[in-house]
Chains A and B, each alone.
Chain A
Amino acid sequence: MNAGAAAPALSAADVSVRLTGALIVDRATLELKAGELTALIGPNGAGKTTLMRALAGLLPAEGRIALNGRTLAALSAGERARNIAYLPQGNVFHWPMSVAAVVALGRHPHADAFSPLSDADRTAVGRALAATAVEPWAARAVTTLSGGERARVALARALATQAPILLADEPTMSLDPRHQLVVMDLLARAAHDGGAVLAIVHDLALAARFADRVVMMERGRLVADGAPREVLTPQRIAAVFGVDAVITDSAVGPIPILRRPL
């Protein structure tokens, strides 16, 4: 886990993505390092989700995306899946499967068609259930849970893969304040346990509070990348989000307070 502290786990160099002809991501260059929680912030339509899907290998992209130095496109689907866990927006569960069965889906890249869960799989699932504190509902149908509970189950599913890289698209979307803190804390813990975590976050205060690094995106381009206090300045927030903000020192560090739209 410590060996990769300096080398990027996932790197993107001059990555561009076009969707139906339109340039959505424009020459993005980004490195995700083990042990770091990186927050990807930016206004709606900036291209954050598209960039993340490209990093997850789900979209064809120009430029080079590399996993531990190896081009992502050259990896098998299984190898990619064992290394990059992706948590899409919205915590979708189409069938009322049990929480335990849903979390076990995280082991999909590790199993083959004919083997049931191995001991390693069971251990990983057990750890993910425990880390997210969803064990008590393991036997319940996932569709009967509240939004906050479902968010934790979705995160447990992604953690169960035990991939060194975790990409989470708005993991705090439509959660109550307590669950926003719970989920961000879990992501920070996953990073500090040695993972490279990238999370799209809309709440700038949450980004400032939990992220080790903040990457700011505007109209397809990455316009800032650094420590939260360097990136989240009133000038940048005004320029990119069109919001008048002040940075206030709090017990948990400097936090942007948003005052009014400009």
Chain B
Amino acid sequence: MDMARRSGWRLETALIVLILVLAVLSLMVGPAGLSPKAALAGLIDGAGPAGIIVREIRLPRTLLALLIGATLGLSGAALQGLLRNPLAEPALFGAPQAAAAAASFMIAFSFASATSLMVPLAGIAGALVSIGGLVAIAGRRATLTVTLLAGLAFASFAGAMTALILNLAPNPYAALEIAFWLLGSLEDRSTDHLLIAAPFCLVSWILLAANARAFRALTLGEDAAASLGVDLGRVRLMVVVGVALGVGAAVAVAGSIGFVGLVAPHLVRRAVGSDPARVLLPGALAGAALLMVADIAVRALPAADELRVGVVTALIGVPFFLAMIFSERRLLEGAPS
């Protein structure tokens, strides 16, 4: 166990170094390419065009990728811990879709401008309904089939609601704006977006991290965990609210970005001995790194218009999900759950 702990800190240190390198890269890459030196100079003194580009455009974008990536990675790891299942992921349970539907409603019917607090609040409420409903339906035994089917139903329903909102939106420009925003992007985000999302994400991190030991005990199943003193009702509530806060706020400022929560914990799980408590921090760091890589990639790829980062994470995430199903299919077919 001591060995695992030591190698774990090494893993976390490596991930933090990676995130710092990616942050510098992220400040350099864009329509106006900057050298590392110019990017850092712009960041520090804020002078000239480089200063404006770095401070006003790329820094908020970089920090937002870090914040949202970490939140999504942590949300995935926490849901996996709660449901004892490596295939749990907010997007498979309809959380971003429900958040998007609720937020779209606010925008389409002009209840709120895109940067008002009403959008994240609506997003959080949407995510709360989907994740809460899912955990309630999955119930005590939380079998994979029931969980994934319920998630599919929630995701489909949220998708239908979004389609309905786009269909009925009074203003065609609003509908187009929503359609693009739904694809998930960090382009042209400002410090305002960062300030809207950050408090919700921080509360989300606290709620999810506080249940680390409960996730570990849950490896023995719900009855054994309860017998060890874990208050399951409280754990479920905290995780549902924590994931909803994080995912809802993330969707509100960046649209729908899926599969980071599935991929990130998986990449680091083996290094922490599959301990669902120890996977939380490196899972969050890996999530931040993944989203930063994806966001750098969409800027670096030669394309007429910038690719949406949500499109990229889905293009990578879905085949990854299929590969996980493929590698676990013996378990999935054979296991009673």
Contacts and interface: CB of A to CB of B under 8 A. Distances in A.
List the 4 shortest-distance A-B pairs measured between CB atoms, nearest first. A81-B229, A94-B84, A86-B227, A92-B221
A56 interface: yes
Contact of B213 (A81, A92, A106, A108): A108
A97 interface: yes
B223 interface: yes
Contact of B217 (A56, A100, A108, A154): A108
Contacts of B227: 56-58, 81, 84-86, 88
B148 to A, nearest CB: 16
A101 B273 contact: yes
Given A94-B84, A94-B218, A113-B213, A58 B223 contact: yes
Given A94-B84, A94-B221, A95-B276, A105 B216 contact: yes
A104 interface: yes
A93 B229 contact: no
Contacts of A87: 224
A109 B1 contact: no
Contacts, number: 83
A75 B120 CA distance: 41
A95 B223 contact: no
A113 B219 CA distance: 17
- Which range holds the interface residue count of chain B? 20 to 34
A82 B229 CA distance: 8
Interface of A: 53, 56-58, 77-78, 80-82, 84-88, 90, 92-98, 100-102, 104-106, 108-109, 111, 113, 117, 141, 154, 157, 161
Interface of B: 1, 4, 84-85, 210, 212-213, 216-221, 223-224, 226-231, 273-276
Contact of A96 (B1, B4, B85, B274): B274
Nearest to B83: A94
A92 B276 contact: no
24 contacts: A77-B230, A80-B229, A81-B227, A82-B229, A86-B224, A88-B221, A88-B224, A92-B220, A92-B224, A95-B219, A95-B275, A97-B219, A97-B274, A98-B1, A98-B4, A101-B1, A101-B216, A101-B273, A101-B275, A102-B219, A105-B217, A108-B216, A113-B213, A117-B1
Counting chain A CB atoms within 10 Å of each CB, the highest count among B85, B212, B226, B231 belongs to B226
A113 B212 contact: yes
Nearest to B215: A95
